[in-house]
Amino acid sequence: MTGDLHHLLPSEPVMLIDAHGRPADAAGYSLPADADLLRAFDALVTARRFNDQAYALVRQGRLAVYPSSHGQEACQVAAAQVLADGDWLFPTYRDTVAAMGRGVDPVEALTLLKGDWHCGYDPNEHRVAPHATPLATQLPHAVGVAHAARLRGEPTVAMAMCGDGGTSEGDFHEALNFAAVFRAPVVFFVQNNEYAISVPLARQSAAPSLAHKGIGYGMPGRRVDGNDMAALLAVLGDAVARARAGEGPQLVEAHTYRMQAHTNADDATRYRQDSDVAAWVERDPITRLEAHLRERGLLSDARREEFAARAERVAEHVRDGLNRDVEPDHRQLFAHVYATPTPQLAEQAALVADELDREGAQR
C-alpha to C-alpha distance for 173 and 353, rounded to whole angstroms? 43
Q: What is the pLDDT of residue 116?
A: 87
Q: Is the dihedral of CA 27, 31, 33, 36 positive or negative?
A: positive
Phi-psi label, residue 288: left if phi above 0, alpha if psi -120 to 50, beta otherwise: alpha
Q: What is the pLDDT of residue 4?
A: 56
pTM of the model as a whole: 0.92
C-alpha to C-alpha distance for 205 and 62, rounded to whole angstroms? 37
Angle at 39 between CA 314 and CA 240, to 5 degrees: 110
pLDDT in tens, the chain (363 residues): 444 555 556 668 999 999 999 999 888 899 999 999 999 999 999 999 999 999 999 999 999 999 999 999 999 999 999 999 999 999 999 999 999 999 999 999 999 999 888 899 999 999 999 999 899 999 999 999 999 999 999 999 999 999 999 999 999 999 999 999 999 999 999 999 999 989 999 898 999 999 999 999 999 999 999 999 999 999 999 999 999 999 999 999 999 999 888 888 888 988 998 888 888 999 999 999 999 999 999 999 999 999 999 999 999 999 999 999 888 888 888 988 899 999 999 999 999 999 999 988 777
C-alpha to C-alpha distance for 109 and 249, rounded to whole angstroms? 27
Q: What is the pLDDT of residue 2?
A: 46
**φ and ψ at residue 321, rounded to 5 degrees:** -70, -40
CA dihedral 352, 357, 358, 361 (to 10 degrees): 160
Our separate counts of H helices and E strands in the chain read 15, 7
b (16+ CB within 10 A) / e for 320-341: ebbeeeeeeeeeeebeeeeeee
The runs of H, that is alpha helices, within the chain are: 34-59, 73-81, 96-101, 106-109, 111-114, 123-126, 138-152, 170-182, 212-217, 229-244, 274-281, 285-295, 301-322, 332-335, 343-362
**φ and ψ at residue 265, rounded to 5 degrees:** -90, 5
Strand order in the sheet with 158-163: 88-90, 158-163, 186-192, 250-255, 221-225
* One-character DSSP codes across 304-327: HHHHHHHHHHHHHHHHHHHSS---
Q: What is the pLDDT of residue 3?
A: 47
Q: End-to-end alpha-carbon separation of the chain, Å?
A: 68
Half-sphere exposure of 164 (CA within 13 A, CB side): 28
CA dihedral 158, 162, 168, 174 (to 10 degrees): -10
Cβ 96 vs Cβ 106: under 8 Å: yes
Cβ 220 vs Cβ 242: under 8 Å: yes
Q: What is the pLDDT of residue 12?
A: 85
